[in-house]
Amino acid sequence: MHAIEKILANKAGLDRVEAGQIVTCNIDFAEINDLYLQTVYSFWEMEGQKVFDKDKVAFVFDHYAPAPTINTAQIHKEMREFAKEQGLTHHFDINKGICHQVLPEAGLIYPGMIIVATDSHTTTHGAFGAFGTGIGATDMATVLISGKLWFRVPELINIEINGTPSKNAFAKDVILYILGKVKADGAVYKAIEFSGNYVEELGVSERMTICNMAVEMGAKTAYMKPNEGVINYVNSRTSKDYTIYETDNDYEYSEHLIFNIDGLEPQLAAPHSVDNNISIKDGIGTKIHQAFIGSCTGGRFEDIEAAWKILKGKKIHPNVRFVIIPASDEVQLSIIEKGYMRDLIKAGVTFSTPGCGPCLGTHAGIIADNEVCITSTNRNFPGRMGSSKASIYLASPATVAASALNGYITEPIV
């Protein structure tokens, strides 16, 4: 069996599972974000009374943090009341950050667990050797009541990544390149394991970026075998016992794709699809109006540090707005302590408070008709960040910062 199958089998109380089988698993943690008041409504409609375990359920207010409209303030109010009334142990209000960042920081993510969240990017937690998957509001309501959810055991694609990219290319460039090859529907209904010597050496932040984007290939979940960095990260934040499951040597993947990324240049996803991959060389010179660094994909300490290295002591182009939103309060505090925030503000950057911001077009940096935005986020669908007539380029934080400096898409020189 694969490590993922062992997780599912363990949580379903079975000795073995196989691809295609439908199993009902106990859920280790369930997280609901503030787009999903429907979860609370569905909970009441199904005559729920108490959540299955008050230690294993949390709300994270991130998509609308802080509330930009009366409707969203009302959503927060009703969810906050539900959380209080249920006596939930963990609660992440508008002052904390993005769910996929704050849950690991709070020590709630560990290898071998099943985490479900009302957010498609829950695949991020594969970086920690967890089974993470996104679900909708009503599925979540059934979890809140029963503590369980059914899954179809997925086939596994092994994406083996070997080599070292060019010094100007980062984990985001690697995953954009792979997305361009595997395509947006290349892993629908399946799970992806990322392996290879590139992955084995990667830091926690970069592993999260890659697993985060697995859903853009349609994957149900992502998996990376925990490395030393992950184990240290998890152990420093939780005292919980956990199991690292090993994939059996005779396990047969449904597909095995090998990528050699030696010397890989910075990459872009050009409008309007995540798999519309081009090399930076084919995008250089495109005029931009806004640059954005943030989100569960590219708003971590290392991402903002990459921008700081490029912008310290300089000024962004006068025709560009550059918005940065740290992924969490912890990220924000660390960039304040390092002095990065001060230097970036002096360079002309606009900071907003931790949360999802314009990544999904709700607030804090929406783009207008015919504008071009370069962003460290995850989706460039039409209308994703505002106007359906705008164009979005996905890139690494370094490329975003270099482009903000010149006013057009620029290869970062690190």
In the complex, minimum distance from the CB of residue 412 to another protein, in angstroms, rounded to a whole number = 28
Q: Which window, 85-93, 259-267, 310-318, 375-383, contacts another protein (CB under 8 A)?
A: 375-383
Query: Which residue, 18, 92, 23, 15, is CA-closest to 61?
Result: 92
Tokens of 374: 């370069």
Candidates 138, 243, 286, 406; binder of another protein (CB under 8 A) is 138
Q: Give residues 264-303 in contact with another protein (rule: CB under 8 A).
A: 273
Cβ closer to another protein: 97 or 361?
Answer: 361
Cβ closer to another protein: 32 or 331?
Answer: 32
Is the bond into 226 cis (omega within 30 degrees of 0)?
no
Query: What is the rounded CA–CA span in Å between residue 30 and residue 41?
Result: 16
Candidates 379, 393, 404, 412; binder of another protein (CB under 8 A) is 379
Q: Give residues 149-178 in contact with another protein (rule: CB under 8 A).
A: 150
Query: What is the rounded CA–CA span in Å between residue 178 and residue 411?
Result: 19
Helices (H) and strands (E) in the chain, counts: 14, 17
Cβ closer to another protein: 13 or 87?
Answer: 13
Candidates 18, 55, 189, 201; binder of another protein (CB under 8 A) is 189
Give, as one character, the DSSP assignment of residue 141.
H
Q: Give residues 301-360 in contact with another protein (rule: CB under 8 A).
A: 360
Asked if 94 and 76 touch (Cβ cutoff 8 Å), the reply is yes
Candidates 90, 220, 225, 300; binder of another protein (CB under 8 A) is 220
Candidates 81, 185, 201, 248; binder of another protein (CB under 8 A) is 185
- Give percent helix, percent strand, percent coil of the chain, each to the nearest 5: 35, 20, 45
Cβ closer to another protein: 11 or 63?
Answer: 63
Asked if 404 and 388 touch (Cβ cutoff 8 Å), the reply is no
Q: Which window, 115-123, 205-213, 247-255, 368-376, contacts another protein (CB under 8 A)?
A: 115-123
Q: How far is CA 391 from CA 102, 310, 403, in A?
A: 30, 24, 15
Asked if 177 and 210 touch (Cβ cutoff 8 Å), the reply is no
What is the torsional sign of CA 251, 257, 263, 269? negative
Query: What is the rounded CA–CA span in Å between residue 154 and residue 188?
Result: 10
Cβ closer to another protein: 47 or 85?
Answer: 47
In the complex, minimum distance from the CB of residue 223 to another protein, in angstroms, rounded to a whole number = 16
Asked if 33 and 62 touch (Cβ cutoff 8 Å), the reply is yes
Which of helix, strand or coil describes residue 234? helix
**Any known ligand binding at 99?**
no
Per CB under 8 A, does 137 bind another protein?
A: yes
Candidates 24, 120, 166, 279; binder of another protein (CB under 8 A) is 120
Binding residues for [4Fe-4S] cluster: 296, 356, 359
Q: Where along the sequence are the contacts to another protein (CB under 8 A)?
A: 22, 35-38, 41-42, 45-47, 63-64, 69, 71-72, 75, 118-120, 134-139, 141-142, 145-146, 150, 184-185, 188-189, 218, 220, 273, 360-362, 379, 381-384, 386, 388
